[in-house]
Structure 1
Amino acid sequence: MAAIGSLLFTGIATYYSAVIARQQLDQAREDSENDARSQAARITFWMEEGSMTEGRAVHLVNRSPDAVTDADILLGTTYKGGEYELRLPSSGIPPCTEAIFKSAEMSALITSNAIGEVDLADFTWWEADLLAFTDRAGQKWVRTATSLQAPEEARKNLLETKTDGLVLAAEPSNTAALKECGSDR
């Protein structure tokens, strides 16, 4: 009888040990995913409406203490009744920095329909659809207005995105150091 009790106790203890080990593994996996997203979660963009002379501007913001590289913005645009997806490439965003690209200071090379080079200020509409960038670990991320896509999903979406041209801007119109850095504010 004592042997049966001992066996039953061992079985219950083994079961609870396995449950605890699984919970610890799940927690470690979740912590690892959160760590991988920590820098990407601090990278964002937003659009600024401007006057007719100044035009619109897109702001890229890096609130992390690490630089991001290969920051490309995909712009949805309208020019002379046609809709075009244009890529605005940037070499990256330094740590704790906001980079501003103003339409009045940029032109676009529309390769579809053989349109050629056009001032971005002449577009009737343009909006930043997404920001693709590479984090400090070399992972490619995609930020939209409503989501942050993990590297696997980002790669797939970028491969499916067809662009009609390129925005020509060697450098941002303006850069500014951020007061709050390394936080989610």
Structure 2
Amino acid sequence: MVAAVSLAVTAWGTFKSAQVANAQLAEVREGSEAEVRAQASRVSMWSEGTDSGKELHIVIANRSPDPVYAFLATLENQTFVPVGNVPPCTRVRIPGVVMSNAFTAEGLDGPQSIRLGFYDSTGRTWLRPLIGKLERASEPFDGPEPDVRMDERQADSTLLIRNPQVAATSSTECG
């Protein structure tokens, strides 16, 4: 009888220890996910202006202390328009006429069908629609290769951020 009670108490103690370990593991996972999303949650996109074509602008804001490589993607991830390296604490305003030209060149059907894609400082790929929540892209992601060359003389006119009509300014909100 004493052995049975002892065994029951040991089993109950083991069960409770396992519950505590599972709770601690869940907390660590939540903390890790928050860390992974920390930079990505500070990168956003929205539209400004009217929906009547060229007056509409897309704004990309990188409020994180690290750069991101951004691109615009169709909702189906079939076509990509590279934005380029967006420095830390920077707001990029892409005029409608620049977007229209890029969309036409790439076969996109307009700004309402796009979402922002970007690579964070650790190389993870993220996607954010104009309206909707941030999501991590599935791996492997068959998107554009980031342009990591530092040569300012590079004549890659396909990067939207290098277009003289695109304005990149310091963001007042950062970090």
Are residue 99 (structure 1) and residue 92 (structure 2) matched?
yes
The corresponding residue for 1:179 is 172
Question: Structure 1: which 5+ residue stretches go unaligned?
Answer: 77-84, 113-122, 160-165
- Once the two structures are superposed, residues 105-163 of structure 1 have per-residue CA deviations (whole angstroms, 9 ceiling, x without a partner) of 56335366xxxxxxxxxx9x64362001000110111111202121317937x69xxxx
> What is the SS of the residue equivalent to 1:99?
strand
1: CA distance, partners of 2:17 / 2:80 = 53
In structure 2, C-alpha distance between the alignment counterparts of 1:111 and 1:178, rounded to whole Å? 29
Larger mean Cα displacement after TM superposition, 31-40 or 126-135: 126-135
> In the alignment, what sits opposite 1:30?
30
CA distance in 2, matches of 1:43, 1:168: 18
Aligned to 1:142: 127
In 2, the alpha carbon distance for the partners of 1:47 and 1:154 equals 29
Q: Normalized against structure 2, the TM-score is what?
A: 0.72
Structure 2: stretches of 5+ with no match in the other structure: 145-156
Percent identity over paired residues? 31
CA contact (8 A) 2:61 2:90 kept: yes
Q: Indicate which of 119, 129, 132 corresponds to 2:114.
A: 129
Q: Distance in 2 between matches of 1:22 and 1:168?
A: 47
Match of 1:40 in 2: 40
Q: Is the contact between residue 72 and residue 80 of structure 2 (CA under 8 Å) also seen in structure 1? A: yes
Residue type of the alignment partner of 1:91: G
Are 2:71 and 1:72 aligned? Answer: yes
Cα deviation 1:65-105 (Å, max 9, x = unaligned): 11111x111369xxxxxxxx964312221111101111345
Tell me the residue number matched to 2:83: 90
- Cα displacement string for residues 5-57 of structure 1 (whole angstroms, at most 9, x for unaligned residues): 222211110000011111111221121112111111111111111698x7221
Corresponding pairs, count: 155
2:122 match: secondary structure? coil
Matched with 1:49 is: 49
Partner of 2:148: none
Q: CA deviation at 1:168?
A: 6.7
User: Do the aligned partners of 1:47 and 1:128 also contact (CA within 8 Å) in 2?
Assistant: no
Cα distance in 2 for partners of 1:105, 1:60 equals 14
> Counting strand residues as a fraction of each chain, which structure ranks higher?
1
